[in-house]
Amino acid sequence: MIRMQRSWWLSTGLSAGLVVLSGVAAAQQIGTNKAEGKADTYTLSVKSQLVVETVVAKDKSGKFINGLTAKDFTLTEDGVVQTIKFCEHEQMPTETAPLPVVPSDQEQLTVYKRLTRTSIAAEGPAKENGPTKYQGHRLLAMYFDMSSMGPEDQLRALSAAQKFIRTQMTAADLVSIMRFNGGAVDVLQDFSADRNRLLSILETLVVGEGQGNNDSIDDASSADTGAAFGQDDSEFNIFNTDRQLAALQTAAQMLASMNEKKSLIYFASGLRLRGVDNQAQLHATVDAAVRAGVAFWPVDARGLVANAPLGDATQGSPGNQGMYSGAGAQAVTDNFQQSQDTMYSLAADTGGKAFLDNNDLARGIVQAQQAITDYYIIGYYTTNSTPNGRFRKIKLTLNKDSGAALEYRQGYYANKEFAHFTEADKERQLEDALMLGDPMTELTIAMEINYFQLNRAEYYVPIMVKIPGRELALAKKMGAEHTLIDFVCEVKDELGGITVSNVRDSVNIKLNESTAADLAHQPIEYDAGFTLTPGKYSIKFLARDDETGRIGTYQGSFVIPNLNKEVTRLPISSVVLSSQRVDSKDALYNATHGKDAAKNDAANPLVEDGRKLIPSVTRVFSVDRDLYVYLQAYTKGAAAPTPASTSTATPATPTAPDTPVLAFVTFYQDRKKVFETAPTAVLPKPGTRLGVVPLSFKVGLGSLAPGRYDCQVSVIDPVKGKVTFRRYPIQLVR
């Protein structure tokens, strides 16, 4: 048996480990086309990348040039002439269509459906998804950054959107509604011409939601709070700005699947960068928009602002030297202008136009609408197929009219394969995968979550993740085979939506010839643990093979019950079923030593006498091996309800000595009992306030035939007359 472990202890009560289960299997071969014992064979692989450009061609008088074809254009990429494969003309009407009249008995408020997917282009089978779905239409995506706008700004933005849809939307317009509330980008409505539905969606947006990421500026304009010392809030604002820009990047990537020009109307109350700290994310956001053919049209929801020199009544007086030297007034002006500069940069770099200092916010939407009239869609397959991620310059000219003005993007960044990723690229890939609503399934991941009560307030929650070893790649490095796996886990409180705990780990597993062969048919198991309070949580776990960049995601919800409120049944933990108990120190890779490792083992109830119980995620067991069952009962976890007639003056009876708890395991098949262990009596651990009773069984499966069974664990407190049982389906194999 060969095992690997990676573990440590965090201040939140978190531990993690890695175990590789091994057996006899053939070695996995990566990167070869020759079969053993066969003649040489060859595989021909061809890669191509389609590049799409939208072009507006105008003559010297400013009129659009009609009737152009692919033969009329010359296109070069980095000086190399490219062959244009298609050229299509898109023409939009400008007449405003009247709002359709709906009978009063059919009027209803349509509650939006939250969609989590990477592309809003494919919504459902009932909609047309062919090449003509968006042809001849103007695509306008309204994006509301609720986290950056105050209630009054949100109201102005929503009113402007409603005004546009009611009175200024044309028959060619398709409008999508997106929202960012500080957590995720929600697609509230796909591109639609249904005005009544769009207005209904806007009505569901609550003014005042999503706030909390507003800037807390620390400079000469800051209010005097009377505090002697405080952490510089600008450090935290760096991450707030990155989140806003990353959300814009996600929105642009959602629109990438459509070849038509897309305009994203970005409603926000400014967006202020923090020097060079946000430049990387700004660059990534602009790059994603350019590659997706999305133009940002920022609209400052604050409208026309007249700032008081030292701030308005919404903040306290600065109370510092800057209010006398003019530094405070200058800081107010600089902060406001910088928040608009970022919006201007987003627009200028993507082909849009920022709408600033105007109270009629609907005019900003009309500007984006009127900017898309007549244009050509040109596509070509680049001759440079190297996925190096470098910028490629595009030059487009008309063959016959050298004086014509052409509006198009001047270049793009090439795709980048995982082999060319930098460390920053790899981290960004994990961050993007963690933000996606749809899980990535390039790697198969299964997970089991358990819970054990630590005290009356906290529970230890160990998780076990299983990944098939055959899905991982092996590589040669420094003469030894190894596989590198990155793990990311995030646990959120579903009620509040906040992250309560997380894991970030990278494990470099070195293997010899025999253990590398075992990975072909044996899984890798990774375990981690969290300390949580009772409640409902969501968990998202990512694993990435660092040799190929393939990512797998597990996403689900779990509930930690409050066992203190259990008065009718005997409170117990979750039940762990396993076929392995391994030495926690017997590891090929171990990140913790000495006191840290001892602290890990002491907190994990699955570790006893230096041996760790490995939960079975799939619950498939061999009849040739023993079945281990472990759980905990809590005899003092909850007190029985006191009768109403009992007087508070009655003297307390002496505490009864600890009594044993009885437990046994039963197997059922086709609703018939086929096997049962003898009852085991176990006393509570001495000195535990919860009266913890550890119940451990070792069940021989040799007398059972392979097949499906129901394994039931029954626990009885004979003194208090409480009974609890849990039943789990299992599979026995030969």
Three-state SS at 25:
coil
pLDDT at 646: 44
CA atoms within 13 A on the CB side of 452: 22
Residue 708 lies in a domain: no
* Ramachandran angles phi, psi of 381, nearest 5°: -100, 115
Point out the residues of the chain with pLDDT beneath 70: 1-47, 93-132, 210-239, 274-277, 307-329, 331, 389, 416-420, 436-439, 474-480, 512-516, 520, 584-602, 637-657
Number of domains in the chain: 1
Residue 506 CB neighbours (<10 A): 13
Residue 442 buriedness (CB in 10 A; 0-12 / 13-18 / 19+): middle
pLDDT at 46: 55
* Cβ-contact 220, 326 below 8 angstroms: no
**Furthest-apart CA pair in the chain: how many Å?**
106
Three-state SS at 49:
coil
Residue 360 lies in a domain: yes
Residue 673 lies in a domain: no
pLDDT at 648: 46
Residue 241 lies in a domain: yes
pLDDT at 320: 61
Residue 24 lies in a domain: no
Residue 163 lies in a domain: yes
Question: Residue 285's closest CA among 404, 493, 143?
Answer: 143
Three-state SS at 329:
helix
Instruction: For the chain, count helices (H), then strands (E).
Output: 10, 34
CB burial readout 27-51, b (16+ within 10 A) else e: ebeeeeeeeeeeeeeeeeeeeeeeb
Residue 303 lies in a domain: yes
Amino acid at 106: Q
Question: Residue 245's closest CA among 83, 432, 404, 402?
Answer: 432
In whole angstroms, give the CA distance from residue 571 to residue 95. Answer: 69
- Which residues, including other chains, have CB under 8 Å from residue 281's CB and lie 6 or more apart? 241, 242, 245, 246, 249
pLDDT at 4: 36
Residues of the domain holding 260:
132-218+233-373
Residue 319 lies in a domain: yes
Residue 480 CB neighbours (<10 A): 12
Tell me, what CATH number does 318's domain have?
3.40.50.410
Question: Residue 548's closest CA among 431, 691, 725, 418?
Answer: 418
